[in-house]
Structure 1
Amino acid sequence: MRICMLSWEYPPRIVGGIARHVEEISEALASQGHEIHVITADHPNTAEYEHRKGVHIHRVKNQPSQDQTTDFTTWIMHLNIGMLQQAIRLHQHQPFDMVHAHDWLVGQAAITMKQSLGVPMTATIHATEAGRNHGIHNKIQSYINQQEWLLTYEAFRVIVCSDYMRREVQHNFALPADKVDIIPNGIDYSKFAFDFPNGLEFRRRFAMDHEKIVLFVGRMVPEKGAQVLVEAAPKILAQYRDAKFVIVGKGGFLPEIKARAAALGIKNKILFTGYVDDAALLRLYRVADVDVVPSLYEPFGIVALEGMGAKLPTVVAETGGLAEIVDHTRTGITTYPGDAKSLAWGVLEVLKNPEYAHYLGQNAFHKVEHVYNWQNIARATTGVYERVLHQAGRALPVA
C-alpha cells in the first residue's frame, strides 16, 4: 500500500512519544513492502526531504514558526495547511491508498484528505486532553477535546495502544466498541545490544562507583510523575544511602521539581540532566540499576518498555497502560499512583535484592522480545488498513 503518515513530530524533532512511535511503525511497515510517506513539521538543520530506512520523510516549512507565536492552535492550523498542500502534491503524482493521522494535531489535514481526495483514513489516539488534565477545565482544553472527537468520528477506524485507552476514548468520544483496535507500542530492543568498553567511565559522569542509579526518563510535566520520585527519594535514602537519582528530561515543571529537591535537602543525591541525546540515553539505560516510571497519567508507557528492553528492573505506577505492560513481581514492580511511600517501597525491593532485580530484568526483556516487537505491530496495523479499505469499498492494492 501507499500510505500517507501524518505526525506533527518526527525525529530529530522529538517532543513526546509520538515521534518515536511514528518512526518505528513507519520503518517496520516499509520493511514489509509498504510505501510510506511521512509528512511532518520542519526542524532546524534538517532536510525538507529524506529517504531513510525505506521511509520517505517530507518536512513542511511552517509560517509563523513555533517560536514566533505564543498561539499554539494558530501554529497547528498553519502546519495542517502545509501538510495538506504537500499531501495533495504527492497524491496527484500517485494516489495514496490510506492516510494515517496521529492525534488531533494533524486531524484537519487528514480529514480534508478523506473528504476532498477520497483517501480512507485511520487515526491513532496516543492520549486525550481530558486524560492528561483529569477533565476539561478551560476553552483551549475544550477546543482540543472537540478536535479529538472530530478526528475519531471521521476516521474509519481508531487505533489505541492499550485497553485503558480503549475505555478512555470510548467514554470520552462515545465511540462504538467495534470501531476501536488495540495495537500496543513497541521498541527496537536490539538498539541496547552494542559494545560499551568505556561503560564505567561513562557511568562516573552520573554517579560514584558505589552508588546505584535510579533512572527516570520523561518530560517535566506533572502527569509524568517526576515529583513523586523526588518525594520518595528521602524515604529511599533513609534505608539505602547509596542510591543516586538521575532525572532525564526537560519541560516547564522542571524548576518546581528542582526547588522541591532543594527543600528536601537532597540536591547532592539527584542529578537533573535536562535533555539527553539518543546515544547518551541508550548508554544511561545500560549503566542504570533501576528504571522508574511513576506516571499519574500514562496511556501506554513506552519509557517502561525502554527499561525492560535494556533488561533493567522496572518500577512503575499501576495506572493506564503501565498496568498492562508490567506483571507485578514477575516483569517488574507496580506501585500506587502518586504515592511516594509506595514508590519508595518498590525501588527498595530492587535495590536491596540484586538477584531479584536480575530476575525481573530478564523476564521483562523476554516479554518485550515476544510481545512488543515492531514487526508484529506492523502486521497488526496492516490488518487494520485492510479492514478500512474493505469498509471503504476499496480493493486491496496488488503488490
Structure 2
Amino acid sequence: MKICMLTSGHDVFDNRIYYKEILSLKKRYDQIYLVAPGDKDFVTEHGIIVKCFPKRKKWYDRMRPMKDIFNIAKEINADVYHAHEPDSFQVATKLKKELNAKIIYDSHEYYPEAFAEHFGFISSLVKNIIYLYEKRLAKQADCIITVNNILVDKFKKYHDNVQLIPNYPVIKYRNFENKLNKKPTFIYVGGLREDRGIFKILQAINIIKDRDFKYIFLGSFETEKFELKCRKFINNKLNNMDITFTGKIPHKRVFDYLNISHVGFVILQPDNWRYVNSEPVKLFEYMSSKIAVIGSNFPMVENIISSCENGILVKPDSPQDISRAILKLAENLEMVKVMGNNGFNKVKEIYNWNICEKRLLDAYEKLGEKLK
C-alpha cells in the first residue's frame, strides 16, 4: 500500500504527523510520502519521501498551495491520501475522484473555530460557514480520525467510521532519572503567544521575584509585537531574574530541557474556546518527562490533573494564583517529585501513543482490505 500524507500548513517534522503517525505506519508500510510546505524535496533518515511546495505567505493564501498539493499528490498516485486540514482534505476529495484512492480526514484541531478567529465581529458567521464546508467534505472521507470526544461526537452525527486517536506522547520504556537543576526550575514548551498565558506567567514571576527560581521558555514568539511586550516587561521588572528564552529548537533537544526541569506550565487562557475544550499535548509531554504541572482549571485539564494527582490547577488569567502555585511547588520539591512520578505512571498506563498506534494501524488495515 502506497500512503501519502497531505498538509497545507504543518511542518514536515510535525510531532503528530511525522513522529507519531508516519513512523507508526512505517512499521507496517514501506511506501510513505509526505506533501508539505518546505524549500526542497528530500528523503528523511527513516526513508520517508518528502515532496515540498512553497509555504503560504499569509493565512488567507490558500488557493495556490492547494493547487501545488494536488499536482504533487496526483503524480505520486497513492492508494491512501491522509489529509490534516480542511483545505488539504479538499484536495484529497479530488484525488479520490480522479484516482479512486481511499482518503482520510485527520481533524486534530478545532478548524472552523480557529479559521473564524481571523474575522472579528463576523467570526460566528464564518465559523458556521466553515462548519458546513467541513461537513460537506468530511462526508466523502473513507475514515475520519480525530483527537477528543467532542470532535468524535461532532463527526459521528454524519459519518459511521470515526476513530478516536488522541495526541498522546510516544513513550520510550526505559528507566531514567531527571538530571534536575539544583534550584527549582519551571518550563514552558510551545509557541509564545498571549493566549497561551506567557505574559500571565511573567506577571506571576514579578510577584515573587525575590525568590531565586529558574524559568525556561522553549519556542518562538508568534508576533514581533508580543515579543516586544514581553521583552520590555522583563527589562523593566525582571532584569535580574534567571529567565531563558531559547527560541525554536529541534524536536529532539526539547527533552534535554525537560530533563532538568521540575514543573511545566500549561496556562492556556479562558477567552479561547478551543483551549478551554482541549487536552493539551504539552500536558502529556510534561507527564511523560516525570515533571509536575501547573495547569488551567478547564474541565478536560482538570479531569486529567485531578485523577493523576500530578500538579496544581490555577485560574489561568490570575497572576496571583499562578505565583502561589509556583511558590507551593518550589518550596516542596519532594512533593513535586511524587507528582512527576504520578503523571509518568498514568502516561505508561493510559495516555501513551502505543494505544493510539494500534488504532491507527487497525484503521489502515481496514482501508487496505477495501482496496483489494
TM-score (norm 1): 0.76
Question: Deviation per CA, 1:7-30, whole angstroms, max 9, x where unpaired?
Answer: 23566x56xxxx110112110122
Matched AA of 2:50: H
Give the superposition deviation at 1:130: 5.1
Correspondence 1:1-399 to 2 at 5 A: 1-8=1-8, 13=12, 19-23=14-18, 24-31=20-27, 33-35=28-30, 37-44=32-39, 48-53=41-46, 55-62=47-54, 66=56, 69=57, 71-74=58-61, 76-91=62-77, 95-96=78-79, 98-129=80-111, 131-132=113-114, 137=120, 142=126, 145=130, 148-166=134-152, 170=154, 175-176=157-158, 180-190=162-172, 211-237=183-209, 241-250=211-220, 251-252=222-223, 253-263=226-236, 265-269=237-241, 270-296=243-269, 297-298=274-275, 299-319=278-298, 321-327=300-306, 330-385=309-364, 389=367, 395-396=369-370
Q: Which moved more, 1:98-107 or 1:316-325?
A: 316-325
Equivalent AA in structure 2 for residue 395 of structure 1: E
Q: 1:268 to 1:82 in 2, by over 3 A?
A: same
What amino acid is aligned across from residue 187 of structure 1 in structure 2?
A: P
1:282 corresponds to which letter in structure 2? F
Distance in 2 (alpha carbons) for counterparts of 1:258 and 1:174: 46
Partner deviation per Cα, 1:73-96 (whole Å, 9 max, x = no partner): 33x3222222222222221xxx50
Identity of aligned residues (%): 19
2: CA distance, partners of 1:339 / 1:155: 43
What displacement does 1:138 show? Answer: 6.1
Cα 1:326/1:386, change in 2 over 3 Å? farther
Classify 1:230/1:83 alpha carbon distance in 2 versus 1 (closer, same or farther; 3 Å).
same
Preserved contact between residue 104 and residue 143 of structure 2 (Cα < 8 Å): yes
CA contact (8 A) 2:268 2:296 kept: yes
Opposite residue 37 of structure 1, the aligned amino acid is I
State the alpha-carbon separation in 2 of the partners of residues 36 and 342 from structure 1: 51
Pairwise CA RMSD: 3.4
Deviation at 1:291, TM superposition (A): 0.8
Distance 1:58 1:216, change over 3 A: same
3-state SS of paired residue (1:395): helix
Cα 1:345–1:177 change in 2 (3 A) is farther
Write the distance in 2 (CA, Å) between the matches of 1:89 and 1:21. Answer: 25
Deviation per CA, 1:323-362, whole angstroms, max 9, x where unpaired? 4543356133332333333333333332121121111111
Counterpart Cα distance in 1 of 2:35 and 2:123:
23
CA distance in 2, matches of 1:195, 1:214: 17
Displacement after TM superposition at 1:166 (Å): 4.0
Whether contact under 8 Å (1:123, 1:157) holds in the other structure is yes
Structure 2 unaligned runs (5+)? none
CA distance change for structure 1 residues 229 and 282 in 2, over 3 Å: closer, same or farther? same
TM-score by length of 2: 0.81
Stretches of structure 1 lacking an aligned partner (at least 5 in a row): 204-208
Distance (Å, rounded) in 1 between the aligned partners of 2:268 and 2:316: 7
TM-aligned CA deviation for residue 258 of structure 1: 2.7
Give the distance between the partners of 2:130 and 2:363, measured in 1 at CA: 24
Question: 1:324/1:2 Cα in 2 relative to 1: closer, same or farther (>3 Å)?
Answer: farther
